[in-house]
Amino acid sequence: MSTDAPVPSSLDAIQPRDKAEILAQALPYIRKFHGKTLVIKYGGNAMTDPALQQDFAEDIVLLKLVGMNPIVVHGGGPQIDAALAKIGKKGTFVQGMRVTDPETMDVVEWVLAGEVQQDIVGLINAVGGKAVGLTGRDGAMIRARQMRLADKDDPSKTHDVGQVGEIVSIDPSVVKALQDDAFIPVISPIGFGEKNESYNINADLVASKLAEVLKAEKLLLLTNIRGVLDKQGQLLTDLTARQIDELVADGTISGGMLPKIAGALDAAKSGVNTVHIVDGRVPHAMLLEILTDQAYGTMIRSH
């Protein structure tokens, strides 16, 4: 074999007949989810690695073109940390929530709505979609108030985390109008309060609540880890409410996994059919979950 022959990618090695067979096997899933709403939280490595970004955008556009309604809610922790570092500030967290003073809030809005959201819109549009960026202010979508963060060990104590918001209500009419018109909404997790003040809301919580009010078929939370891990670091492929309570109580679930699992469980309990925490580092993780019976991650059950 000549040494300068191009190394075939794993897909080039697949025979066209097998490729056709693979496509045909997606048909039952396409039929099942046609016209259904899928809420996808885009976060973690899938958001910072260029090859994974490309895969993500392609997956979203493909799902839209075969008749599903993907709605993207994005995070941006690493990008916010990088922007804070530029102005000499270090992000601090309490129970997975970013402590948000007024200066940090400004940075959060610039980075999420100005940079990250528009990057995602651009990526989706570049592969043939029609994405529209929104924050929770648009269409008066996300009303919020200051979060009273109860201490996880002593619920009578609360932590002041500044302009971190909890959701009061979500009006999804702007999202519905856009999805009906072939657009793909891309939402930054920023809410507004009674005095028109801004709130920084954990993106997992926005995605979960949005899935609930839209009566979504699926909620997928893409993250930077295999899924929920047990004390020994083994993947837990599915979890019930009772198991989740135990894992939180004994400290196995901590940090950013706390709001993620809380939101996921709420969505499952309020009727979202499938709730999955998915490894966003796996190429085309979304297509694997939606169009095959393979899934890499943790499924959350309501009971």
Alpha helices in the chain (DSSP H): 16-25, 27-33, 50-65, 77-86, 102-109, 117-126, 173-180, 203-213, 241-249, 257-269, 285-291
Nearest to Mg ion of 61, 257 (CB atom): 257
Nearest to Mg ion of 256, 280 (CB atom): 256
Interface segment toward Mg ion; rule CB under 5 A; list 63-71, 127-135, 249-257, 271-279: 249-257
- Indicate which single residue of 165, 256, 263, 297 sits in contact with ligand ADP (rule: CB under 6 A): 256
Check binding of 256 to Mg ion (CB under 5 A).
yes
Check binding of 84 to ligand ADP (CB under 6 A).
no
Interface segment toward Mg ion; rule CB under 5 A; list 116-124, 225-233, 241-249, 256-264: 256-264
Interface segment toward ligand ADP; rule CB under 6 A; list 80-88, 136-144, 185-193, 254-262: 254-262
Check binding of 172 to Mg ion (CB under 5 A).
no
Nearest to ligand ADP of 125, 243 (CB atom): 243
Q: Which of Mg ion, ligand ADP, none binds 286 (CB below 5-8 Å, type-dependent)?
A: none
Check binding of 252 to ligand ADP (CB under 6 A).
yes
CB 37 within 8 A of CB 214: yes
> What distance in Å separates the CA atoms of residue 225 and residue 276, rounded to the nearest whole number?
13
Secondary structure (3-state) at 236: coil
227-230 contacts: CB < 8 A, separation 24 or more? 227/277, 227/278, 227/279, 227/296, 227/297, 227/298, 228/253, 228/257, 228/261, 228/277, 228/298
